[in-house]
Every structure is written in structure tokens, then in C-alpha cells.
Amino acid sequence: MAQRKSRTDRRIDLIEAARRAIIRFGIDGVQLSHVAEEAGLTSGAVLYHYPDLSELLVEAQHAGMERFYEQRLRQIAALTDPVAKLVLTIRSGLPTGPLDPDVRLLNELGGAAGRNRVYGVLLTSLYDRQVSMYQSILDTGQALGVFRLTTDALSISRNLVALEDAYGYRITARHPIIGPEEAAELILSYARTVTGNDLLH
């Protein structure tokens, strides 16, 4: 028998297991047994904690998104230079490679968000928060005279997040030419143009 755990500990495990299962089988392809296997439990045990699988899936997606976002925030928190912040933020929004679990998870939502309101809201809220993240970097840089923005910071930020998203898809789909490095360079080329800064650091 699998090790017994407290209600909260087990729920945390299950959310992690669901995350892995979604990546393997897709948000519409996950089955109770997939989650159970990933967690090292039986289907019954999963059902004991989550009588409704779809609720667990939402929680898994939510947790994955929060982790992704918090991680990005934490990385730039250590920096003060707007240039360094911007460059690092761009890189941290891209997958490390085709198998990057965080981005793979987010990508699963793309299609589902058009059919499922909950997923649509989740994804939209993540997008908006990432936009704010960029916006505050750009505003600061502008105020310090480091950036000379060609348009409003909001529009630029929206485009930056959009570019990250799109290249995340390209990379996980294994584009033969566009990998993490190439994508970063493409986004940076945009960022250089609109900030009027070489973004060397």
C-alpha cells in the first residue's frame, strides 16, 4: 500500500500528479487512472480526495500557472537594472526546450480555453498579469531615461507577452530552427526596436 498521507499533503501530491498527467495525455485526454498512476495510488484513492476529476484538473492548471508566474516574479525581484530585468524576463517566459513542463502545461490550455470558460478566465488572467509585469519594467526604464519607448508601454507589453506565448508553442512543437535561443533573440530584436536600447548588459 502506498504511504498514507494527510489530507492536505495528499492533495498537493495529486495536483502534481495531475499536472504530469495533463502534460502526457492532454487536458481532454487525462483519465483518473493516469493521475492515479502518476501519484502511485489507485483510482479509488484519487476519487476519495477529488470526487470530480475536472476539479482536480482545474486546480492543477491553476497551481502550474501560479508557480510559473511566481517564479518569473522572483527572478526579476533580485535585479534593479531595467535592462537586465527586461532581458531576464523575456528569457524566463520561454520554455527551456520542447519538453519544458511549465510551458507544456500552459499550452494545453490554449484550445480548451475556447471551449471552457474557467480555463479561458485562468489563461486571460495570467496573460494580463504578465503584461503588468512587463509594463512596470518598461515604465521604470522610461522614467530613468534608459528606455525611449516608441509607443505606450501597455501595447509593447501586450506584444511582448504575445511573442513569448507564440514562441512557447513553436518550441514545444519542435520547430527545427526556432529554439529557446532563437526565440529569445527574435523577441529581443523587437524589444530593442521599441525601447531604443541595445539591451546589452
Contact footprint for DNA (CB under 7 A):
1-7, 10, 31-33, 40-45, 47-49, 51-53
Q: Does 172 bind a copy of itself (CB under 8 A)?
A: yes
Q: Angle at the Cα of 21 (from 160 to 40), degrees rounded to 5?
A: 140
Q: With respect to a copy of itself, which residue has the nearer C-beta, 21 or 41?
A: 21
CA 193 to CA 107: how far, in whole Å?
Answer: 28
CA 133 to CA 127: how far, in whole Å?
Answer: 10
Choices 43-51, 52-60, 82-90, 160-168 (CB under 8 A): range interacting with a copy of itself: 160-168
Residue 22 C-alpha cell reads as 495533463
Task: Choose from DNA, a copy of itself, none: what does 119 bind? Cβ within 5-8 Å by kind.
Answer: a copy of itself
| CA dihedral angle for residue 106, residue 112, residue 118, residue 119, rounded to 10 degrees | 10
Choices 42-50, 69-77, 133-141, 169-177 (CB under 8 A): range interacting with a copy of itself: 169-177
Q: How far is the CB of 108 from DNA (least distance, A)?
A: 16
- The Cβ of residue 10 has, within 10 Å, a number of other Cβ atoms equal to 21
Q: How far is the CB of 45 from DNA (least distance, A)?
A: 3
* C-alpha R_g of the chain: 19
Choices 63-71, 77-85, 134-142, 166-174 (CB under 8 A): range interacting with a copy of itself: 166-174
- Residues shown for the chain: 201
The answer to whether 67 and 100 have CB atoms below 8 angstroms apart is no
Task: Choose from a copy of itself, DNA, none: what does 114 bind? Cβ within 5-8 Å by kind.
Answer: a copy of itself
- Chain positions 107 to 146 lying near a copy of itself, rule: CB under 8 A, are 107-115, 117, 119-120, 123-124, 127
Choices 61-69, 74-82, 133-141, 155-163 (CB under 8 A): range interacting with a copy of itself: 155-163
DSSP 138: H
Q: Nearest Cα to 161, choosing from 128, 189, 137, 136?
A: 128
Phi, psi dihedrals of residue 101, rounded to the nearest 5°: -65, -35
Q: With respect to DNA, which residue has the nearer C-beta, 29 or 196?
A: 29
Q: How far is the CB of 8 from a copy of itself (least distance, A)?
A: 30
Task: Choose from DNA, a copy of itself, none: what does 7 bind? Cβ within 5-8 Å by kind.
Answer: DNA
